[in-house]
Amino acid sequence: TKSFAETRAASLASLKSGSELITNYLDKLIPDGHLELFPFAISEAYDLRYETGSHVNSKGYGVAAGLASLTENFAGDILSGVFVEYGRANYDSYLDSGLHADGDSEYIGGGLMLKQNFTSGTYLDASFHVGKISSDYNSNDWTYAIAPGVLAHNEKFDISSTYMATHIGIGQIFDLSQSNKLDVYTKWLYAYTDDADATISSGERYHFDSVTSNRLRAGLRDTINLKDEHNLYFGGAYEYEFSGDAKASTMGLDAPKPSLKGSTGVFEAGYKYESKNLIFSLGGKGYVGKTRGGAINAGFEIMF
């Protein structure tokens, strides 16, 4: 029955990846000069393995698009915006017993973002997301007696719930040289999916508790201006997940719970092009530890 709960762990993992689109790329959305309104879009595709006590493999993508502005204020300038987001992932879960299940996870929502840049080089950033997330479960490794002498070898169900995610970050930009800037930051990231219920083939009703992700991340990113509009960036971060337990129960009995709790190292590198009317970025990330695998990302914004 732990296999059922893996579905919720896979959904939370998909939501965590998707909510980071805004979190990770706020710095790349800041144009050179104040603008009242400009459109932007960010996307990322990933192939990740999550150690949950057993493990879940997830392949998917996320997209966020919206409108933002950069305006001057008494402390420096502030980036603010609204966005819509969508993500989809296909997952496979594997228990040590050999039981295999698969399914899809999908979310759609929207939110707000803010980043206050101070004249000293310090900044504060934040985002808030809300929406709907759904997932399904399928496995041919189950056997049920649905009638005398009649066996079923497949299990399927669907679940959906609302979600909420947010983050708060603080950082400092250091000018190492005229063409080299170092960003040192710390972020708190939170994600939550509401509880849900499903009835399996044997007629038992399963309750899936709400699932929470509560993470701290500390890292740095070095951006080097090569020539005019062309920039390279490199970075690394350490992240610890304090929560991430996916609980399920039926008839008052708890199923074994998978957990995303633990440490992950994140490494990134990429290219950013910035001209008077266009910002474009392309990069990649690698994960080691509790989460393993890689991702590629791209984003752009247009200034009028």
Q: How far is CA 190 from CA 27, 210, 215, in A?
A: 20, 13, 6
- Specify the pLDDT at position 278: 87
4 pLDDT band, cuts 50/70/90, is confident
Mean pLDDT of the chain: 88
Within 13 Å of residue 51, how many CA atoms lie on the same side as its CB? 12
The number of domains in the chain is: 1
Q: Give yes or no for residue 142 having a pLDDT over 70.
A: no
Q: Give yes or no for residue 150 having a pLDDT over 70.
A: no
Q: Give yes or no for residue 231 having a pLDDT over 80.
A: yes
Tell how far CA 153 is from the center of its chain.
34
Q: Which domain holds residue 18?
A: 2-302
- Specify the pLDDT at position 164: 95
**Residues ≥6 apart with Cβ < 8 Å to 21:** 42, 43, 44, 62, 63, 64, 85, 297
Please tell me the total number of residues recorded for the chain in this structure. Answer: 304
Tens digit of each residue's pLDDT (9 = 90 or more) over 104-135:
999 999 999 999 999 999 999 999 999 999 99
CATH code of the domain covering residue 137: 2.40.128.130
- How large a percentage of the chain has pLDDT more than 70? 95
Higher pLDDT, 256 or 219: 219
Neighbours of 142 (CB within 10 A): 16
With 0-12 CB in 10 A as exposed, 13-18 as middle and 19+ as buried, what is 252? exposed
Range 60-69 average pLDDT = 93
